[in-house]
Amino acid sequence: MTKNKEKNITLSLRPITNHKIRIVRIITQLVIFSLLNGLIFGLARVSLILPIEYPTGGPFSTVWSGFEALQYGLTIFTFPYLVIAIFGLFGAVAGKTTCGWACPMGLFQDLFSYIPIKKKKVSKPTEKSLRSFAVFIIIFALVFSLVIGISYNKNGSAAKDAYGIWGNIPYSVLDPVATIFATLFYYLKWGIQAETLGAEMGDWKFWFIARILFLAIILILITLYPRAYCRWFCPTGYILGFFNNFSLFGLKINKNRCPTGCNKCEKACPVQVPILDYDKNITHPNCTNCGECIDACPEGALKIGFRF
Amino acid sequence: MNTRNRIYVIITLSIAILFLIIAIVQSQIDSFSAITKMTEEEVKNFLSGYLAGFPKPWE
């Protein structure tokens, strides 16, 4: 059998969804982004917590961000049963799929990845080291929230107020996602006025500059390294990435359909998952199940679905 | 997926569902305590929706 015939047979076995996943994903991201900003369309805020990176205090936000709810729960010294349940359910069922298909910050990073600049890659050890930023953010936010919560429990809300801008959701003071989707909007709406807004926010000048600086670093990184925030900084992404090891939904590779190992899937992957290192299920903590590898694979060796 | 991962999934889902139930029950307890602390006037306002449109012969 000639090589061409072999190729034709393999191609005929490819699923019909090939090369369409990106379009479906972008439409899904846009629809979910619209729903998350439902106040624009007259929707109401709902008591729903989602494991996504989107500021709860955003001007049109309809839901709670999971990590923000976790911090807020600790600052009022309550055990965050609901947040843990939401992370557990989403994580065990879908792994990091919400990062790739629903997260507004993910959509924002995807848009930045279309800027025509040559994308850079990092080595595996560097990738692993850089992920420790997310661990640092998680530990900082949760420990600080717990300290505030203990003060609140002992001395009431006055003790919590003493923490000023850090009092409710500590990480939101520096969070670049909050800066993009909430802070910048409010600053543009109200202006930078020391007498009004500044007085409410305490050391607003310092923290304004600090968060703009952090945002600028993130913007440069996500332009050069696709989904850099997801990979190295995002606390929600890090928590969900842990569940990728055993999540019900995820990517599967059929090595029988991958005789050449052309590596196109790894080149297409925006988060540098070493796909060909896996034998069956792709369980890398960076994988957002975005499906770029499925679109790129000429042999139809990759599939997304349930893998129990 | 191997057996160890299946066990992890089952344990994670069990804990998540248990915590979800605890959270729902806790919110119900909070709602109940809020309702029981209501004054007579607040209860009337709260229930006014049920009586909207009906004749009130006692008034």
Cβ contact B19–A88 (<8 Å): yes
Kind plus residue range of the DSSP H or E element containing A84: helix A81-94
Kind plus residue range of the DSSP H or E element containing A66: helix A66-75
Q: Is A18 exposed, middle or buried (0-12, 13-18, 19+ CB in 10 A)?
A: middle
**pLDDT per residue over B11-54, tens digit each?**
999 999 999 999 999 888 988 888 888 888 887 777 777 777 77
**Any B CB within 8 A of A89 CB:** yes
pLDDT tens per residue across all 308 residues of chain A = 455 555 544 444 445 455 588 889 999 999 999 999 988 888 888 888 999 999 988 888 899 999 999 999 999 999 999 999 999 999 999 999 999 999 999 999 999 988 888 889 999 999 999 999 999 999 999 999 999 999 999 988 888 888 888 888 899 888 999 999 988 888 777 765 544 444 445 556 777 888 889 999 999 999 999 999 999 999 999 999 999 999 999 999 998 888 888 989 999 999 999 999 998 899 999 999 999 999 888 888 999 988 87
Cβ contact B12–A85 (<8 Å): no
Q: Is residue B38 part of a domain?
A: yes
Q: Is residue B36 part of a domain?
A: yes
Q: Is residue B2 part of a domain?
A: no
- A chain contacts of residue B1, beta-carbon cutoff 8 Å: 246, 281, 307-308
Do residues A122 and A130 lie in contact, with contact meaning Cβ atoms separated by under 8 Å? Answer: yes
CA atoms of A115 and A223, how far apart (whole Å): 7
Cβ contact B12–A88 (<8 Å): yes
- The confidence score (pLDDT) of residue B59 equals 60
CA atoms of A92 and A86, how far apart (whole Å): 10
* Residue B38, domain extent: 22-52
Q: Is residue B13 part of a domain?
A: no
**Any B CB within 8 A of A91 CB:** yes
Nearest to B12 among A92, A307, A308 (CB): A92
**Any B CB within 8 A of A244 CB:** no
Single out the residue of A76, A82, A93 nearest to residue A48, CA to CA: A82
Query: In chain B, whose CA is at the least distance from the CA of A246?
Result: B5
Nearest to A81 among B6, B13, B23 (CB): B23
Residue B4 to chain A, least CA–CA distance (Å): 9
Q: Is residue B42 part of a domain?
A: yes
Query: What are A235's strand-pairing partners?
Result: none
- A chain contacts of residue B8, beta-carbon cutoff 8 Å: 245-246
Crossing angle for the helix pair A104-113 and A21-36, to the nearest 10 degrees: 130
Q: Is residue B10 part of a domain?
A: no
Kind plus residue range of the DSSP H or E element containing A305: strand A302-306
Task: Provide the number of structural domains found in chain B.
Answer: 1
- The confidence score (pLDDT) of residue A36 equals 92
Residue B12 to chain A, least CA–CA distance (Å): 6
Cα angle A27-A68-A304, degrees, rounded to a multiple of 5: 35
**Any A CB within 8 A of B52 CB:** no
Classify residue A136 as left (phi > 0), alpha (psi -120 to 50) or beta.
alpha
Single out the residue of A251, A259, A272 nearest to residue A298, CA to CA: A259
- The confidence score (pLDDT) of residue A221 equals 94
Q: Is residue B47 part of a domain?
A: yes
Q: Is residue B31 part of a domain?
A: yes
Q: Is A259 exposed, middle or buried (0-12, 13-18, 19+ CB in 10 A)?
A: exposed
A148 contacts: CB under 8 Å, gap ≥ 6: A74, A75, A160, A163, A166, A167, A170
User: Which ipTM score applies to this complex?
Assistant: 0.79
Q: Which two tokens stand for residue A290?
A: 């975005």
